[in-house]
Amino acid sequence: MPKKKVSKKIKRKATKAKTKIKKSVKQNISKAKTNIKKVKTNVREKNSQKSIGEITHFYDHISVAVVKLNDKLSGGDKIKIEGHGKSFTQKVNSMQMEHEQIKTAKKGQEIGLKVNESVKRKDLVYKT
């Protein structure tokens, strides 16, 4: 079978179609980049809240978390524990240090904190 010649008119139409498609793809990529920037900004704003501590251990049979504090914490404070795809809020009802009940804890101390839900190592603690 002999090859058919493609007319110049058809070639021009194909070139125009390719150009339109390229333009459309570039616009969609630009919109996607803008949306990604917005999402990153929202995540950054959400995470801008400074953590007051980090979970270093969890005793599941008594629901007590060991927390290394970066800031002070007092009984009655509301906290949010977040990490590993889960978060919850609770009031600080019971805090202990070396098996002694305490009312306030200072930066740098490790405390035992009674928690309402299970937590994992490296979860972060925030004041709300």
pLDDT tops 90 at residue 2? no
62 lies in the same domain as 112: yes
Residues 18 and 44 in one domain: yes
Tens of pLDDT, residues 68-108? 999 999 999 999 999 999 999 999 999 999 999 999 999 99
Q: Which residues make Cβ contacts (< 8 Å) with residue 14, sequence separation at least 6?
A: none
CATH number at residue 103: 2.40.30.10
Q: For all residues of the chain together, what is the average pLDDT?
A: 89
Look at 116 and 42; give whichever has higher pLDDT. 116
Tell me, yes or no, whether 59 and 85 share the same domain. yes
Give the pLDDT confidence score for residue 82 in this predicted structure.
95
Confidence of residue 47 (pLDDT cuts 50, 70, 90): low
Q: pLDDT band for 11, please (50, 70, 90 cuts).
A: confident
Q: Is residue 92 a contact partner of residue 74, using CB atoms and an 8 Å limit?
A: yes
What pLDDT, on a 0 to 100 scale, did the predictor assign at position 49? 79
- Positive or negative, the CA dihedral 48, 54, 70, 92 is positive
Give the pLDDT band (50/70/90) at residue 7. Answer: confident
Q: Region 45-57: what's the mean pLDDT?
A: 83
Q: Quick one: 37 and 75 in the same domain?
A: no
Provide the domain limits for residue 26: 8-48
Output the DSSP codes for 45-112: HHHTSPPSEEEEEEETTTTEEEEEESS-EETT-EEEEEETTEEEEEE---EEETTEE-SEE-TT-EEE
Residue type, 112: G
What is the length of the chain?
A: 128
What local confidence, expressed as pLDDT, does residue 4 receive?
63
62 and 102, same domain (yes or no): yes
